[in-house]
Chain A
């Protein structure tokens, strides 16, 4: 059982480049979300989705876009990367009112 799969695991971008962080889950969960983790700040919610076709902003959405065309996939797009977006990104999925399952993370460096 794969759970939540994130790709890539590591990425280096130049300022201004764009990229998409992939997230896929095979548990048929309705809820999916993206967090970023920075030292001393815990995990902060970027965007979340309560089902296919429905997305909403979290605590720190600026600079990021998401879409949810299928239940399984929830990609996170950086349109123009900035050094402030250097972070570790985690995708999570859950069923209604249950615990979240997390991917292994994507470590992104923007130079």
Chain B
């Protein structure tokens, strides 16, 4: 069965520090992978996606993620975090045939000045 694991429930970083949010997935074929961000009281906004091709994908707001098939991972990175990045981040895997999304449980990012 498809599943997504985000092992870090809560991460705290200082503004300007680098960030890496972890995501591991289980899927039988080459997955479609997504990172979404949710600010408090808001809906979900797509940060980036991987469908095929280059395994390093660039997204909005300076985020990037790398697909590593051998590790079944799709970690999200940002070289320098801004206070406005404080939010909850969700990794998701998409099913090729039904377009169903399976989400991880999320990582809440807190940024200190």
Chain A residues engaging chain B, CB cutoff 8 angstroms: 31, 33, 35, 40-45, 48, 50, 56, 58, 90, 92, 94, 96-97, 99-105
Contacts and interface: CB of A to CB of B under 8 A. Distances in A.
Contact of B43 (A31, A41, A44, A103): A103
B96 A97 contact: yes
Interface size range on B against A: 20 to 34
B36 to A, nearest CB: 8
Contact of A45 (B42, B44, B46, B100): B100
Interface in B14-53: 32, 34, 36, 42-46, 49, 51
Contact of B104 (A42, A45, A99): A42
A83 B58 CA distance: 41
Contact of B99 (A31, A42, A43, A105): A31
Interface of B: 6, 9, 32, 34, 36, 42-46, 49, 51, 90, 94, 96, 98-106
Contact of B98 (A40, A50, A102, A103): A50
Q: Which 9 A-B pairs have the closest CB atoms?
A: A42-B105, A42-B103, A31-B99, A43-B103, A102-B44, A102-B43, A104-B43, A99-B46, A42-B106
B103 A96 contact: no
B101 A96 contact: no
A96 B45 CA distance: 18
Given A42-B90, A43-B90, A97-B96, A92 B104 contact: no
B2 to A, nearest CB: 10
A5 B55 CA distance: 33
